[in-house]
Structure 1
Amino acid sequence: MATPQEIAVAHQQRQRSIILALIAMILGWWRRLDRARLTESWQAGVGPSIVQTMARAQTDIASLVPFYLRDVAQAQGIEPPEHEVVPSAFSGVASDGRPLESLMYQPVIALKRLLAEGVPIDEAMRRATAHLAMIAATQAADAGRGAVEAGMTANRQWVMYVRVVNLPACSRCIILAGRVYSHSTGFLRHPNCDCSMMPVTGDDVAVLSPRELFEQMSEEEQDRRFGKAGAESIRLGADLGQVVNARRGMQQASVFGRQTLITTEGTTRRGVAGRRLIEQGAPTVRVVEEFATRITRQGREQRQVRRERVRTPRLMPEAILQAANGNRDEAIRLLQRFGFITS
């Protein structure tokens, strides 16, 4: 019998096949759009055909879910869901609740805006086409995830779900692989994300970890997904989450008279790098970073949020490898110092 992980990956692959076929069909209709009469040609046939194709794909993907959930339940040795998903309920509407017609028209609006800004027609069409493909892929995958959420809720034995990531995937999804969430927690996804969820009865689950996914990738793919320096840092032992999340606060700064990449991510007292640098004697400074809104009896009130950060710049992996100048021991020492690998 297949394991729950194998069942989840197979389900994701079937869903991916439907999405690829969907995009091919939708782009076929999109190419019939009259560039001189965008709105008219959309309304005359291109738009309705795209919307109908999209709705059918949503139904097809949602229709996979009852079989998927029954297989997962059987593999986990529990009773199948008492209530089954209704696939048609996940069709014809966008995941944000608006009518599908409205969302699928957005690429036409984007195309008109680009043309008004003076973007050449071929380039404008290329961008609008990519926008349409992204919307289609995201909405189709959302229909499947929504159906899984509904079916999972119908079985009280499923109290959590685990994020299943199947390669190829982006770096931000890879670091979330194997994360376990409460069944009522919304699924974190980005546009074009095709990660899936597997319902579980507890948090003791066996799925591929971020490190295992990373090691399945070729070195070329690792470099492409995590950046050459980031991937090399991970191969040296750096934590994937630290490498990826560090890029959120990445900026250029002058360090010892040289422009280099640093990050503010993880440099507070609570952050991994912040704690290590403070232990090593790094000075700290309290800075005002943002405003937070809270509800009081008098109404909404904004207050400043101050955070204590280390003053020592936290080097990015790229800067660390450059500073190490080929010395692996020095690279490892710096990666440890700045919280990218364990001490």
Structure 2
Amino acid sequence: MATPPELPPGGRRRPARPGQPSTPPELAAAHYDHVAATIRAIVEHVQAVWSQLTAQAIEAALLGEAGAQIAAAAVAGQASVAQAAQAYIAAQMAAQGGLSLARAALLPRMVPSAFTGFAPGGGPLESLLYLPAIGVRRRLAAGLPPEEAMIGGLVDMTMYTSTAIADAARAADQTAMAVHPQCVAYVRVVRLPACARCIILSGQMYTRSEGFLRHPNCDCQTLPLREHEWPGVFTPQQLFDQLDKEQQQRVFGVDGARAIRAGSDLGQVVNARRGMDTVHIYGRTLQATHEGATRRSVYGRSRAAAGDRTARFAGQRYGQATSMRYYRSTQSPRLMPEEIFRLADGDRDEELRLLRRYGYIV
């Protein structure tokens, strides 16, 4: 059997209390719907652009105007979900008896654009969105017809764009939790359809700064908590019981579903952690990015004010060489929000300091 799901460093996952209502709280459901609707809209736009492309010219298309349209749509989606995060967290805290929305408006403000333009793991979003072209070329080389190669490329592209938007939403939510002084924890909210790895984590509670376990195409969201109490979210077993036998077998496998129905623990049947991409900087494994780190960006200006040096560079944008007018920080890579929370180790003041330094809040 698979090992139990791996936890983030310092994780303190807690089991749900029995007898709680099974309907997600209204605010969390509305936020979940907003993120899901944003992803659907962007995916539909990507499909419309992709339908005009051909396998023979896919590389040129994604390096040109078509690639620019897809990237711009993905960035717009990231900005939309990030923009909604602070209002969502503030509303949840107010509903739980915390600060009023008027008082919450006086807290440090998030910068939605700080969550746009990069892929999960910190790489440039544009580079990620070029990978489907490579996938199409590989499928053609393997002998697939052009139509099938393009269908596979579209599947890749929709997965990359939807994952990038969902990750931006979760990072923004967690940043908003750090900004709000009364938020102490969050619960993972899972909706069907979902994979086995997510189902077994449904309803689990983590401290606000703990990393969010996710995978490509994961659409799970967070429910912030003012106190260490369980709200009414689905437990893993409740989600499993909602699936019919065929769905259970598709999600957990024939043998896995049978074992769960026989009484096996879901966490013993499913390995929920497959690892997320990281980068290696200064001999340490960190999640960081140089996206949004130019001299003209919010982060770049903050580093210049701190005396950081910048280096001139010529880059690529949608396959076209940029001019030499751009400068990039040479001393400080831009840490991702989840890495900031890990390094701060639960110290809220340190979290806010690092979030300001790297341009996520002002």
Relative to structure 1, is the Cα distance of residues 116 and 221 closer, same or farther in structure 2, using a 3 angstrom cutoff? closer
Q: 217-226 or 59-68: which moved more? A: 217-226
Deviations 1:203-226 (A, max 9, x none): 322222111222233333223222
CA distance in 2, matches of 1:246, 1:38: 35
* Larger of the two Rg values belongs to structure: 1
Secondary structure of 1:37's aligned partner = helix
Instruction: Report what 2:186 is aligned to.
Output: 161
Q: 2:44 aligned with 1:28, yes or no? A: no
Point out which structure has higher relative CO (alpha carbons under 8 A, 6+ apart): 2
Relative to structure 1, is the Cα distance of residues 191 and 247 closer, same or farther in structure 2, using a 3 angstrom cutoff? closer
CA contact (8 A) 1:29 1:46 kept: yes
CA contact (8 A) 1:9 1:166 kept: no
- Structure 1 residue runs of 5 or longer lacking an equivalent are 249-298, 300-343
Q: 109-118 or 239-248: which moved more? A: 239-248
Secondary structure of 2:249's aligned partner = helix
CA contact (8 A) 2:249 2:256 kept: yes
CA distance in 2, matches of 1:174, 1:116: 37
Q: Percent identical across equivalent pairs? A: 43
Deviations 1:204-255 (A, max 9, x none): 222221112222333332232223343233233322112224999xxxxxxx
CA distance in 1, matches of 2:203, 2:139: 40
CA contact (8 A) 2:24 2:189 kept: no
CA distance in 1, matches of 2:203, 2:66: 41
Instruction: Report what 1:213 is aligned to.
Output: 239
CA contact (8 A) 2:184 2:228 kept: no
Instruction: Report what 1:122 is aligned to.
Output: 147
Alignment map for 1:48-197 (pairs within 5 Å): 48-79=68-99, 81=104, 82-197=107-222
Deviations 1:88-132 (A, max 9, x none): 222222232222211111111222233234333223222211111
Query: 1:154: how far off?
Result: 0.5
Say what the alpha-carbon RMSD is for the aligned residues.
2.5
Relative to structure 1, is the Cα distance of residues 246 and 127 closer, same or farther in structure 2, using a 3 angstrom cutoff? closer
Deviations 1:149-186 (A, max 9, x none): 11011012222221111111111100011112222222
Query: 1:138: how far off?
Result: 0.3
CA contact (8 A) 2:90 2:180 kept: no
Secondary structure of 2:270's aligned partner = helix
Secondary structure of 2:65's aligned partner = helix
Q: Which amino acid aligns with 1:28?
A: A
CA contact (8 A) 1:160 1:201 kept: yes
Q: Which amino acid aligns with 1:216?
A: Q
- Structure 2 residue runs of 5 or longer lacking an equivalent are 1-22, 275-282, 284-362
TM-score by length of 1: 0.66
Deviations 1:11-66 (A, max 9, x none): 11221111112111111111222322222233331110111111111111222212
Instruction: Report what 1:237 is aligned to.
Output: 263
Q: 43-52 or 222-231: which moved more? A: 222-231
CA contact (8 A) 2:93 2:182 kept: no
CA contact (8 A) 1:59 1:88 kept: yes
CA distance in 1, matches of 2:34, 2:245: 27
Alignment map for 1:162-311 (pairs within 5 Å): 162-206=187-231, 207-245=233-271
Q: Which structure's residues are more often strand, by fraction?
A: 1
Relative to structure 1, is the Cα distance of residues 223 and 35 closer, same or farther in structure 2, using a 3 angstrom cutoff? closer
CA distance in 2, matches of 1:191, 1:141: 9
Q: Which amino acid aligns with 1:189?
A: R
Relative to structure 1, is the Cα distance of residues 35 and 236 closer, same or farther in structure 2, using a 3 angstrom cutoff? closer
CA contact (8 A) 2:187 2:206 kept: yes
CA distance in 2, matches of 1:171, 1:155: 32
Secondary structure of 2:188's aligned partner = strand
CA contact (8 A) 1:4 1:72 kept: no
Q: 237-246 or 130-139: which moved more? A: 237-246
Secondary structure of 1:162's aligned partner = strand
Deviations 1:274-294 (A, max 9, x none): xxxxxxxxxxxxxxxxxxxxx
CA contact (8 A) 1:33 1:42 kept: no
Secondary structure of 1:36's aligned partner = helix
Secondary structure of 1:188's aligned partner = coil
CA contact (8 A) 2:93 2:226 kept: no
Query: 1:4: how far off?
Result: 7.2
CA contact (8 A) 1:4 1:76 kept: no
